Amino acid sequence: MAGRLLLFVVVVALALLASPRGAVGVYPWINCRDNGILADSGYKASLKLLAATMPKNASMSPGLFATTQAGVTPEQVWALALCRGDATASYCSSCLTQAFQDLNTSCDKKAATIYFDSCLLTYTNIHFRAADDIKYSPYFTIRNNANATAEPARFQRVVAALMNATASSAAFNSSTRLYASGQAYFDKELPEVYSWAQCTPDLSPDRCWSCLVRVMRELPTLFTDAIGARVLGIRCSIRYETQPFFNGSATVRLSSATSATGPAPNVLLNNLAATAQGEYKLAYY
């Protein structure tokens, strides 16, 4: 466990030293595959079957999660739906219903993903499983344009410690939802920092942890001094903000002494494995 925590801090420390690249995105964030195959009427009929049942099935499951398929080859479609771990069943169902509607009007390809704050939906004509989380892993990386200005180095240490603890809790100390939220004190400029980490419930704890570490490796594109950022993936996602964004009390709490003391973690590039191959899009808010 200590080794996992050290690796995660190293990953976050690397992220804190880099600068973002530019792109534009609009909420909700949609990844309509540019190189995807056009969806014909048979494929769209399969999607309608999923839209009629999947929001209810996911919202009624203990993990607010569902995977399913519909149709027959070549019109067969596989889909995955996940709601954030703090969502109610009714809100989860409504969010996923809206997700199907928005993708239906915004994307005519056979592979697409949409991210809302409280749910995600993805579908494809390729059969994917939990074991395929590395091969099938498009991400949206999103950065708040505002920066912490008073004590940026200390802010970086607070965020690193909080994301480390939140990701670890989601993977190893959470319920079947593999979800955790966090909160840490910072200063008068930005009194609190809030965090979130979550995996799809069909991942094992170790695989969830590996997924979160891989997602954190994308943060060099957006992390430095930003008062908010998120990396949204299909199998796992993370987020931090200086304003509360989740429901209920944080499952992880760090004191200022725990999160902001001591030197910044050393950056050991040779200890970092290669990042996963995938599609990446950056948006700002």
d(CA 64, CA 56): 10
Write the CATH number for 90: 3.30.430.20
Does 179 score more than 60 pLDDT?
yes
Q: What is the pLDDT of residues 32-78, one digit of tens each?
A: 876 567 778 889 899 999 999 999 999 999 999 999 999 888 788 99
Record the pTM. Answer: 0.81
- Name which of 60-74, 76-90, 249-263 the model is least confident about: 249-263
Q: Domain check: are 184 and 48 in the same one?
A: no
pLDDT for residue 194: 94
Q: Domain check: are 157 and 271 in the same one?
A: yes
Give the residue among 198, 15, 191, 29 at the shortest CA–CA distance from 122: 29
Number of domains in the chain: 2
Q: Domain check: are 66 and 45 in the same one?
A: yes
Q: What is the pLDDT of residues 115-172, one digit of tens each?
A: 999 999 999 988 877 766 555 566 788 888 888 877 888 888 888 889 989 999 999 9
Does 245 score more than 90 pLDDT?
yes
Q: Domain check: are 215 and 97 in the same one?
A: no
Top pLDDT among 221 and 95 is at 95
Containing structural domain, residue 178 = 2-25+139-284
